[in-house]
Structure formats: C-alpha cells, structure tokens
Amino acid sequence: MATTGTSAMRSLAAPPPETPSANRPGNWRPAADDFPAFPASWYVFCESSQVRDKPFSKQFLDRRLVAYRPASSDAIVVMDADCAHLGSDLGAGRVAGDCIRCPFHDWEYGPNGVCRKIPAQESIPEFARQRCYPAEERNGLVFVFNGERPLYPLPYFPGRSPDELIRARPFGTVLDCPWYVSGANAFDLQHFRAAHDRRLVAEPRTEQPDRFAFAALGVFAVAGDTWQDRVTRRFAGDEVKLAITDWCGSLSFASAEFRRTATYGLVAREPLPDGRVRVDVYVFARRASGPIRRVLFDRLILQIRRLFIKRFLTADAIRLNGVRYTPDRLIEADQDMIDYYCWLARATPDASRASSQ
C-alpha cells in the first residue's frame, strides 16, 4: 500500500513507492493544498434519461458542460457548454444531425468539438471549437472524465458486471466539508464503530489494487439495537463483510455481503467551487434469477435496500458538516485515514497537470 511522499512526488511519471511504515504518526502528511480542487478523475455527470432527444447542460466542477447524443450514434458526447463564439449555453440549443447547434447564432459543433458550420459566413475561425471530455454510460448514468483523456478505465464493483445489477434512484446532499474529507470518512474505523454500532470481527486491511485506487476490507458484527439492525440480523445475517474501493476520491464502490444477501453502493462526489462537496449515493442489487421474480421482486427489494442505506448514511451527512482536514491533529488511531490521505494527495492529479502528461 502506497502511503508516503511529498507534493513533488505526485507526478504521473512514476507509481508511488510501497512504504506503509513511513506514515506512522510524526512522519509526512499532506497539507490541505496538496489536494487538487478539481481532480482529474471519473465523475457521475447526469442520468442517461436526461440526454435523450435534446442537449443537457449544467454547472459542473468549475465550468459548465453539455451532453448530447449525435444522430448517427448512441454514444454520448460531453463538451464545454459555453459557445466559443460569445459564450451562449449550448444546452439551450438543439441537436442537428451529429452536431449540437448554438441557440444564439446557430453555430454547429461536431462530436469532436470542432465547429462545422457558421450560417453567417463560409470561413470558420480556428478558435471555433469546444473542449471535449471522455464520457461513458453505465447503468443509466453518464460518467465524464475531468481531463483530455482518462488516466484509468471507468471502474465498477469488483467481480460484478453492469448487466448483473439494477439501480435505485439516487439520494444525496451538499456537505460543508472538502471532497477529500468526505472520501476519508469511509476509512474512519473509529467513526464506524462509534456511530454505526458495528463491532470488528477481524482486523481490517487496506490495499492499493490500482495506482488510482485505495481499498479497505473489514468484517463487522451487526451489534446495534435499532429496528434496522434487528431486521438486518433476521433476514440478512449478523455479520457483514464490507469492502470499499475509492477511485481518486470521486467514486467509491462499496459492497456489503451478508450471509444471505449482498448490497452494493456507489458514492459519487463532485467538488464545488466554494469548497463544499456534492455527494450522491446510488444503491444497487443483483437481479433476480428469473423473469417473473424480476417483475415481482426486483424493484421492491431494491427500494427496501435503498431505505436502509439512506437511514444508515443520513446521520453521517450531519456529522461531516463542518469537519476540516487538520493533519497535525490526526492520532495513531487514525492510521487508516492517514494512509488514505497520503495516498490520495499523491495519486490524484489536478486536471491541468493530467492533461499536460
């Protein structure tokens, strides 16, 4: 597990060294400005249903982006939404064949972002182009990479394929804390035991399955006495194997495997310009084995799981508000969080640095 370094070591040219012991209290810990404001990473941009027969735009990270579907392809195109001419929002325009047409002067941009047509003149200036971003669809979601090219493939739940799982509608909120503090919450074992009535059954472990991923695995006893905990023990099991894989702080894939069932969750984070973070949670479950069972039970079971997960995580949202990263206040019991912070500061570049590589 890579856990140490300096801000100068965050270059994409070389992977981080394997030196977990160097992170013990008193050694290097990243400063707050070692974390990029808007990391070069994959993000959830919107629902696929929002991009059907017309463009969809929204403020995203530090800019406005627009998504649309070219007529000749099902692949979604994502580009800067401010028209290169005078800045009109392309999301207020329309799709014209394979192009997106600006609502102001009808300039048309192709899927590569290059302007193909200006009605008022034949010549097209060099500046008439939009920056495009890698985009993919999965489970009814549109993902976008903040950079010219992906640094790693769009991740998924380890050992699962998109066809195996169904997804519930998301729930989310804006947290008054930095994006990287929200990510570290998943690796805060002190909090997990204290706030969620979970008792460690075996020593948890962390690992780095990929240069851009940090994972934790632990087995917990469901020890609480809330009605949710009692129902969980009765119908799912009294122990849960919890695995979390975080990709550069923007996407965290979690699985909770009980003796009789399993639930999956995607936590999607979007850093905001004011220093807060937008967090959305998508709950997944495996499809039933037959068509009749799928019709009768899939959606019902999924909504029950969503209810449990939402209740489980809602209190976390309240507790995280106002939390700040203070490296000199981290103690020995925070070691898993320290490891996460050190990895994240070194593994996650900002978009401008990633694009220059």
CATH number of 330's domain: 3.30.530.20
Distance (Å, rounded) from C-alpha 357 to C-alpha 354? Answer: 5
CA 221 from centroid of its chain's CA atoms: 28
- Among 97, 119, 135, residue at a domain's last position: 135
**Does residue 31 fall inside a structural domain?**
no
Residues 6+ apart with CB under 8 A from 230: none
**Does residue 73 fall inside a structural domain?**
yes
Residue 169 shares a structural domain with residue 290: yes
Residue 347 shares a structural domain with residue 202: yes
**Does residue 151 fall inside a structural domain?**
no
Residue 206 shares a structural domain with residue 131: no
What's residue 14's pLDDT? 33
Please give the tally of structural domains in the chain.
2
- Of residues 21 and 264, more confidently modeled: 264
- Among 135, 152, 185, residue at a domain's last position: 135
Residue 117 shares a structural domain with residue 196: no
Q: How many CA atoms lie within 13 A of 58 on its CB side?
A: 13
User: At 78, which amino acid appears?
Assistant: V
The 8-class DSSP code of residue 93 comes to: S
What's residue 7's pLDDT? 31
What's residue 190's pLDDT? 63
Distance (Å, rounded) from C-alpha 62 to C-alpha 134? Answer: 17
Distance (Å, rounded) from C-alpha 204 to C-alpha 280? Answer: 26
CA 153 from centroid of its chain's CA atoms: 13
Residue 166 shares a structural domain with residue 112: no
**Does residue 69 fall inside a structural domain?**
yes
Residue 174 shares a structural domain with residue 131: no
Residue 23 contacts residue 338 (beta carbons within 8 Å)? yes
User: At 38, which amino acid appears?
Assistant: F
pLDDT at residue 184 is higher than 90? yes
Q: How does residue 307 score in pLDDT terms, banded at 50, 70 and 90?
A: confident
**Does residue 27 fall inside a structural domain?**
no
Residue 122 shares a structural domain with residue 179: no
Residue 175 shares a structural domain with residue 252: yes
**Does residue 18 fall inside a structural domain?**
no
Q: How does residue 109 score in pLDDT terms, banded at 50, 70 and 90?
A: very high
Helix extents (H) in 197-285: 227-235
pLDDT in tens, 61-91: 999 999 999 999 889 999 999 999 999 999 9
Q: How does residue 222 score in pLDDT terms, banded at 50, 70 and 90?
A: low
Residue 114 shares a structural domain with residue 190: no
**Does residue 299 fall inside a structural domain?**
yes
What's residue 289's pLDDT? 67
Residue 213 shares a structural domain with residue 294: yes
Residue 339 shares a structural domain with residue 207: yes
Q: C-alpha distances in angstroms, 175 versus 323, 324, 339? A: 9, 11, 23
* Tokens 């392809």 found at: 73
What is the residue range of 300's domain? 162-351
Q: What is the mean pLDDT of residues 173-179?
A: 96
* Tokens 């994959």 found at: 42
Q: What is the mean pLDDT of residues 196-219?
A: 80
**Does residue 178 fall inside a structural domain?**
yes
Residue 76 shares a structural domain with residue 203: no
What's the CATH number where 91 sits?
Answer: 2.102.10.10
